Amino acid sequence: MASFLILFFKSSVCFFMYISYKRTRKIIIKNRNMRLNKFLSVAGIASRRKADELIASGKITLNGKIVLELGTQIDPEKDKVFFNTKQVAILDTHLYIIFNKPKDCITTLNDERGRTTIMDYITVKERIFPIGRLDRNTTGVLLFTNDGEFANHLMHPRFELKKTYKVEIDKSLSPEHEKTLRQGVKLSDGKTSKSEIYFFPRQKRKIIGISIHEGRNRQVRRMFEALNYEVFSLERVSYDEITCEGLRRGEWRYLTAREVQYLKSKKEKPEK
Ligand code: URA
């Protein structure tokens, strides 16, 4: 009887261990799956939103077939994902770069018309991409990375990182327009959110500092143009606390570990 009870006890333990192993394995296998856009972003191809655009435009293949479904789940260990005939893999090293963009340089990775692009200046062999963009004639701080998740967080409207610009305009900014800029300007794509305005001594209100928390296309130029000012020059002087100090136009450097850590911490503590 005793040996029967021991045998029964042992087989019950084995049975429950087997069930629990099956459940854990199922969870592990389930968790290995990842959304395709996240995979492309972690692999440094683009931010998640850009990755969705690549998928929708038919540039991504999954196991030899074009995949258009945005919510597609993949198994990064088994599935073969290709972008423009190159297989995509998750890298274990990430690069973070700050560039002091000069004028007459476009924010694109390559230009069919042969114009000068940011990649004529940044000569790293890894595939990196800009975090946001600056217009052709806007100068100053532009960040690059191959860490799609990092880019994704910095560009997400919810985190609203402050970008500060120095704008040179054709005439003195009136106090009334200063107020409008601070409160929000009506643009074709909606009213802008509040901005901060600064003046420089002895510049007769023709050189203005403006900090915004959005990243719409040509936003600063459009804000001034909407109020009938001509923008002579535009420079991004800082991306949150990160500046180009010590870099001449056209020069770049790697962000320090401290700067990367600082920007990463921003995603956990979004600004109000
Ligand atoms: N706003 C603009 O108008 N242009 C830029 O390049 C960046 C912000």
Is the CB of residue 149 below 6 angstroms from any atom belonging to ligand 1? no
Q: Residue 250 above 90 pLDDT?
A: yes
Is the CB of residue 210 below 6 angstroms from any atom belonging to ligand 1? no
Number of domains in the chain: 3
CB 63 within 8 A of CB 80: yes
Quick one: 131 and 258 in the same domain? yes
List CB contacts of 195: < 8 A, sequence separation 6 or more.
181, 182, 184, 210, 211, 212, 213, 223
CB 143 within 8 A of CB 130: yes
42 burial (CB, 10 Å; 0-12 / 13-18 / 19+) is: buried
Quick one: 72 and 195 in the same domain? no
Residues that are catalytic: 135
What element of type H or E holds 99? strand 96-101
Quick one: 138 and 261 in the same domain? yes
Half-sphere exposure of 13 (CA within 13 A, CB side): 6
Closest atom of ligand 1 relative to the 222 alpha carbon: 3
Is the CB of residue 234 below 6 angstroms from any atom belonging to ligand 1? yes
Q: What is the pLDDT of residue 30?
A: 45
For residues 110 and 91, what is the distance between their CA atoms, to the nearest angstrom? 22
**Assessment of whether the complete model's pTM goes beyond 0.85:** no
Q: Residue 159 above 90 pLDDT?
A: no
Which domain covers residue 171, as residue numbers? Answer: 163-239
Instruction: State the CATH number of the domain containing residue 257.
Output: 3.30.70.580
The pLDDT mean for the chain works out to 86
Q: Which of 25-34, 104-113, 144-153, 186-195 has the lowest mean pLDDT?
A: 25-34
- Confidence tier at 123 by pLDDT (50, 70, 90): confident
Q: What is the pLDDT of residue 271?
A: 47
Instruction: State the CATH number of the domain containing residue 214.
Output: 3.30.70.1560
State the distance from the centre of ligand 1 to the C-alpha of 217, rounded, in angstroms. 7
- What average pLDDT does range 143-165 have in this prediction? 87
Q: What is the pLDDT of residue 5?
A: 62
Contacts of 223-228 spanning 24+ positions with Cβ under 8 A: 223/181, 223/185, 223/187, 223/192, 223/195, 224/167, 224/169, 226/185, 226/186, 226/187, 227/177, 227/180, 227/181, 227/185
Quick one: 117 and 68 in the same domain? no
The CA angle 137-94-110, to the nearest 5 degrees, is 35
Q: Which of 26-30, 170-174, 192-196, 227-231 has the lowest mean pLDDT?
A: 26-30
Closest atom of ligand 1 relative to the 218 alpha carbon: 3
Is the CB of residue 221 below 6 angstroms from any atom belonging to ligand 1? yes
Q: Residue 75 above 80 pLDDT?
A: yes
Quick one: 179 and 80 in the same domain? no
CB 39 within 8 A of CB 81: yes
Among protein residues, the one with the nearest Cα to ligand 1's atom 6 is 134
Quick one: 64 and 169 in the same domain? no
Q: Is residue 50 part of a domain?
A: yes
Residue that is written with structure tokens 């975090």 in the block? 131
Closest atom of ligand 1 relative to the 212 alpha carbon: 8
What secondary structure letter does DSSP report for 21?
H
CB 231 within 8 A of CB 222: no
Is the CB of residue 105 below 6 angstroms from any atom belonging to ligand 1? no
- Confidence tier at 153 by pLDDT (50, 70, 90): confident
Pocket test for ligand 1, best of 100, 118, 138 (most atoms within 8 A of CB): 138
Is the CB of residue 136 below 6 angstroms from any atom belonging to ligand 1? no
State the distance from the centre of ligand 1 to the C-alpha of 103, rounded, in angstroms. 12
State the distance from the centre of ligand 1 to the C-alpha of 123, rounded, in angstroms. 24
Q: What is the pLDDT of residue 116?
A: 95
The CA angle 154-155-157, to the nearest 5 degrees, is 110
Is the CB of residue 219 below 6 angstroms from any atom belonging to ligand 1? yes
State the distance from the centre of ligand 1 to the C-alpha of 251, rounded, in angstroms. 20
Q: Is residue 188 part of a domain?
A: yes
